[in-house]
């Protein structure tokens, strides 16, 4: 089965766990990013939500990035994917890793690919 792949902008720096932004600013950015992911994912909605899924994050970014912090910055995107009913519960989204795409040219982006796990088709 082909993965569901969505491409989104790089998360705002305010979503970083190391950010010193006020909680209201973080909340505003979190809601905006969750909505972006919802709109991108709803186009790929399966007939029924996956019970469990694995995902991999690819990103193109010029500067060096700490993978743990970048993964935390993408939490709003994962919540938006769950809100689009790609998976029943985002606690059933299992990370498969993260890959920096240095060879790709063009604008900076985050690409999230999602594969169903344990589905009987």
Domain segments of the chain as ranges = 4-116
Nearest to 9 by CA among 74, 72, 64: 74
For the whole model, what pTM was predicted?
Answer: 0.87
| pLDDT value, residue 41 | 94
Query: How far is 80 from 30, CA to CA, in rounded Å?
Result: 10
When computed from its CA atoms, the radius of gyration of the chain, rounded to whole angstroms, is 14
Q: Name the token pair of 30.
A: 């979190």
Query: What pLDDT band is residue 76 in, cutting at 50, 70 and 90?
Result: very high
Closest by CA to 73, choosing from 87, 89, 85, 59, is 59
26-49: average pLDDT: 94
Residue 25 has pLDDT above 80, yes or no: yes
pLDDT at 64 over 90: no
Q: What is the dihedral of CA 80, 60, 96, 5, to 10 degrees?
A: 50
pLDDT band per the 50, 70, 90 thresholds, residue 32: very high
CATH code linked to domain 4-116: 3.30.1330
Q: pLDDT band for 119, please (50, 70, 90 cuts).
A: low
């Amino acid at each position: 089965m082909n993965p569901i792949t969505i491409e989104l902008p790089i998360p705002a720096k305010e979503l970083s766990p190391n950010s010193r932004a006020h909680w209201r600013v973080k909340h505003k950015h979190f809601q905006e990013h969750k909505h972006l992911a919802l709109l991108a994912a709803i186009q790929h909605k399966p007939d029924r939500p996956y019970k469990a899924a694995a995902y991999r994050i690819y990103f193109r970014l010029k500067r060096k990035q700490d993978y743990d912090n970048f993964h935390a910055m993408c939490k709003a995107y994962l919540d938006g994917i769950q809100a689009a009913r790609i998976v029943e519960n985002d606690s059933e989204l299992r990370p498969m890793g993260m890959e920096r795409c240095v060879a790709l040219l063009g604008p900076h982006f985050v690409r999230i690919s999602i594969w169903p796990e344990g589905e009987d088709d």
